[in-house]
Structure 1
């Protein structure tokens, strides 16, 4: 799932994180206050106003995965309530040129609204230009074509509440450590909007809210395949670590391997995004204490709701965030459904019984 959101790098340096004081939060590209997705809802009057219009929608995604499948499911269910037909669904395979072709193909079906994650801010700006000329309403996931203006060119950007993801990871690790101990911090050592914001939120929350916890070791990682090696080196220097934060689930699996290799059953791991190996360790009572995920299904629902509001000529919020959730052994089955709109892997469900 992480790679689905790494493509949103064009907002790096423009979307910001307010990490000072009690009001820390993710904010939009021009400092817009985030609107919680729960506030973006369709009334019975809204639904009645669009149901008989014969509106059509297109879902133009960047890739296929559990994450995008869940976003699509949320969008399809909300559009179905409004009587809006999905006429085109595409997968660009992380290829901006292919996405441009997808847009051209979709426009031939004359959709009234398009939901998409633009892969490249420059090429996407040109690729979506015909949609604007056609009067198609645009709702974007996490990224924004260069030069596009809210209310004129697009209805909203919808994304994760990235600060909350990092904060909840800090809260979960602090709970596992009873608010005290030494921890390691393994962050993503690359310029990626999603991971950078989440990592910094973890670090900020530990420093602000948990004086009994000290980050005594920091290690950047760019290649998940090196996670075990880097974690082993960290553990040699700091064998008494009580906990480790890992930037996302794939490298967390490598950190878990390093702990197992050293016979360490005490150091707690917290990481972001759902994945079977780390979830399996968590439900078996291993080193992993919690996983923090986004609500991908809710992202799609909110995008569709914004699209309907735009079709009705209603004012739409510029920047919408879907909530994060902390998944533990106790709520793993429901957490998987809430995040990805599907059952957790059978191995995880069996181990959690």
Structure 2
């Protein structure tokens, strides 16, 4: 590894990135975090993946706080979509954290899962005289040029979940912040296999953009877990671009493979579509697990329609991303990969997990659907 990689190893050790004043709940609440994977996406300088560094509280001097508050800094967010709690909570975490330090959030864009649309939005945002851009790339294999243009414009780029191919941390972007998606999938797959008795046919419902690293990590976690269970067979893999496609594709899949007993979907929106498709063909017995917890998917867990979820902490991701940007604006070192541990969610710990994710009390309809089934438990 070259000198740049060595410097980033030092930076990774000394970087201070905030979870936020509310984030200690993730470590101290009734649900313990799952083990943190050691490395993230392979990137330039880190062919085996950059070391995973958990966010910790930042340290600012009085002079640095003054520089931030008097700097007239402007930021923008380019999201891959704005159709789920994962997106909205992350935007909220970024916005609220930046606001504490006087950094103005001037725009939030929604690419609706369209890489071409996102490229156009990136060009428009770069023209708004911003100093920081937060973004979730949709297709890292094809979007390198679009993001490199942002970097070459002198904008500090904070990536969320994915790194476009060929970009280098510390040069083309500041850092990438993401959940431990592999462990998210491992937990959800383990729960799926338990629920079907460790034998039979299962299906995977996954995103069509295979270079999307967080989804690739979830698929890897699913497949590696499945490999340890020789009595379970992967009968079908369904790919989608928009979650709305999954309803009809699930109907077709279950018609072609009527012996499927369980489904792992790579996030909750396609999981809920899969449940609707299964119900349409009379398959309410299908076991479904997924990743990402929000009020909508929580209701499915409360009713027993989703067996388990490997949950992210999107608000805390947003806080970590915002604080990485604050450090970058001050010229302070930032680790190339910041990762937040996954949470294992079952019906029994649903209410405490949902509060941990959304930072608010569970909606009454979810508590009512739970009855006495959703009691807090410790750990996995």
Assess same fold via TM > 0.5. yes
Structure 2 counterpart of 1:281, from 291, 300, 307: 300
Distance 1:289 1:92, change over 3 A: closer
Structure 2 counterpart of 1:306, from 311, 324, 340: 324
Distance 1:277 1:307, change over 3 A: closer
Contact 1:156 1:316 in 2 (8 A): yes
Unaligned residue ranges in structure 2 (runs of 5+): 1-35, 372-380
Distance 1:139 1:217, change over 3 A: same
- CA positional deviation for 1:314: 2.8
Q: How does 1:83-162 map to 2 (within 5 A)?
A: 83-94=101-112, 95=117, 96-107=119-130, 111=131, 113-118=132-137, 120-130=143-153, 132=154, 136-144=155-163, 148-162=167-181
Structure 2 counterpart of 1:325, from 324, 335, 343: 343
- Partner in structure 1 of residue 10 of structure 2: none
Return the TM-score normalized by structure 2.
Answer: 0.70
- Partner in structure 2 of residue 226 of structure 1: 248
More helix by share: 1
Structure 2 counterpart of 1:293, from 307, 311, 315: 311
- Partner in structure 2 of residue 50 of structure 1: 64
Mapped partners of 1:319, 1:171: distance in 2: 26
Mapped partners of 2:237, 2:249: distance in 1: 10
Contact 2:188 2:291 in 1 (8 A): yes
Unaligned residue ranges in structure 1 (runs of 5+): 1-21
Cα RMSD after superposing both structures: 3.2
Contact 1:60 1:103 in 2 (8 A): no
Contact 1:139 1:156 in 2 (8 A): yes
Mapped partners of 2:162, 2:277: distance in 1: 35
Q: How does 1:157-306 map to 2 (within 5 A)?
A: 157-177=176-196, 180-188=198-206, 190-192=208-210, 193=212, 194-208=214-228, 211=229, 214-222=232-240, 223-233=245-255, 236=258, 238=259, 241=261, 243-257=262-276, 259-260=278-279, 264=283, 266-274=285-293, 278-285=297-304, 287-306=305-324
SS at match of 2:308: strand
Corresponding pairs, count:
313
